[in-house]
Amino acid sequence: MEKGLTDIFRDKIQKEIRIEPKDWMPEKYRQTLIRQISQHAHSEIVGMLPEGNWITRAPTLRRKAILIAKVQDEAGHGLYLYSAAETLGITRDEMYDQLHSGKAKYSSIFNYPTLTWADIGAIGWLVDGAAIMNQVPLCRSSFGPYARAMVRVCKEESFHQRQGFEILLTLGKGSPEQRRMAQDALNRWWWPSIMMFGPKDDESPNTIQSMQWKIKRFTNDELRQKFIDVCAEQVKLLGLVIPDKDLTWNEATGHYDFGPINWDEFWQVIKGNGPCNKERLETRKKAWEEGAWVREAASAYAEKIERKKALLVY
């Protein structure tokens, strides 16, 4: 081989040729992807909890069916992503272990509580909206299995955001209490959603490398600005107010200016001190541990059937 492995790899990245699991890749590329994809998977799985909280109390049968379908989609997203991560040589059990031991992170947005039905609207509009903003460029990520998983995820996300917006729209046209409830949800979910894009670019040391490897296509701040610009327009249709008095259209930049973000809160939640960190992790662990007998029973049953089949053959 005349060319070194590193050169071949770099060449592919340059030419937008996807990297596949069996291709040679730098160890750091592999590790970065394992971390990012597994964290993304964990976020989808933990993300089911705040919404699951409202399934039994959805106001109508229609809303309940929709919410179940959405939460089921999130489980699917987690599974696509775990599978993509496994192609890089980490096992499912290792990833669960990292989540349950607190070693692995997931999106800190899911450490906030869902206090009213309007929160389900705000989550769909803002949290899924921010996720879509993040995920659409990931469909072109340089790692094949990740990009393919994201294509599937993005197709499914769009209804998530629309159903959330529809909930807020309905509440916005409702009684004064319903309008108040919608505004209150927006007040609580706005800033955490803005923080979903991650730390500011100059505090995000991995961004440059990830952009060079084309794992990421836009910086955190670029995506955040895009999201704010879109929401600042959409909110007008809801008749609600984004809780940022500094939010103003800037003719010169062609973007909305926005107020300071409380990064202290962001880091606190990441460190485990958010309102629901403990509860979320406990719930996950409990589900995993209490499901152990089901996993064992299914394995035992599969083995029994195999044995019976073997007996029939010989």
Partner 1 sequence: MSSQPKQEWPLWEIFIRSKQGLDHKHVGSLHAADAQMAIENARDVYTRRMEGISIWAVESKYIHASNPSDAESLYDPANDKAYRHPTFYTLPDEVKHM
Q: Return d(Cα 125, Cα 109) in angstroms, integer.
A: 13
Which range touches partner 1 (CB under 8 A), out of 91-99, 168-176, 197-205, 211-219?
Answer: 91-99
Work out what residue 301 binds among partner 1, Fe ion, none; the CB cut-off runs from 5 to 8 Å by kind. partner 1
Supply 207's token pair: 């961004």
The kind and range of the H/E element at 250 are strand 248-250
Q: Return d(Cα 282, Cα 48) in angstroms, integer.
A: 14
Residue with tokens 């990297």: 19
Supply 250's token pair: 């800037």
Tell me how far, at minimum, the Cβ of 142 lies from partner 1, in Å.
15
The answer to the question of residue 51 lying near Fe ion (CB under 5 A) is no
Sign of the torsion formed by the C-alpha atoms of 243, 249, 252 and 253? positive
Check if the beta carbon of residue 57 is closer than 8 Å to that of residue 42: no
Question: Under rule CB under 5 A, which residues in 146-165 are in contact with Fe ion?
Answer: 157, 160
The answer to the question of residue 9 lying near partner 1 (CB under 8 A) is no
Q: Which of 20, 201, 233, 282 binds partner 1 (CB under 8 A)?
A: 20
CA angle (60 as vertex; 230, 231 as ends), nearest 5? 5
Question: Under rule CB under 5 A, which residues in 74-93 are in contact with Fe ion?
Answer: 74, 77
Tell me how far, at minimum, the Cβ of 12 lies from partner 1, in Å.
11
Question: Under rule CB under 5 A, which residues in 99-128 are in contact with Fe ion?
Answer: 128
The answer to the question of residue 309 lying near partner 1 (CB under 8 A) is no
Burial of 7 (0-12, 13-18, 19+ CB in 10 A): exposed
Q: Which of 76, 137, 144, 243 binds partner 1 (CB under 8 A)?
A: 76
Q: Return d(Cα 132, Cα 295) in angstroms, integer.
A: 33
The count of chain residues that interact with partner 1, using the rule CB under 8 A, is 29
The answer to the question of residue 230 lying near partner 1 (CB under 8 A) is no
Supply 27's token pair: 């160890």
* Residue ranges that bind Fe ion, judged by CB under 5 A: 44, 74, 77, 128, 131, 157, 160
Residues that bind partner 1 (CB under 8 A): 20, 22-24, 69, 72-73, 76, 79-80, 83-84, 86, 91-93, 148-149, 152, 156, 292, 295-296, 298-299, 301-302, 305-306
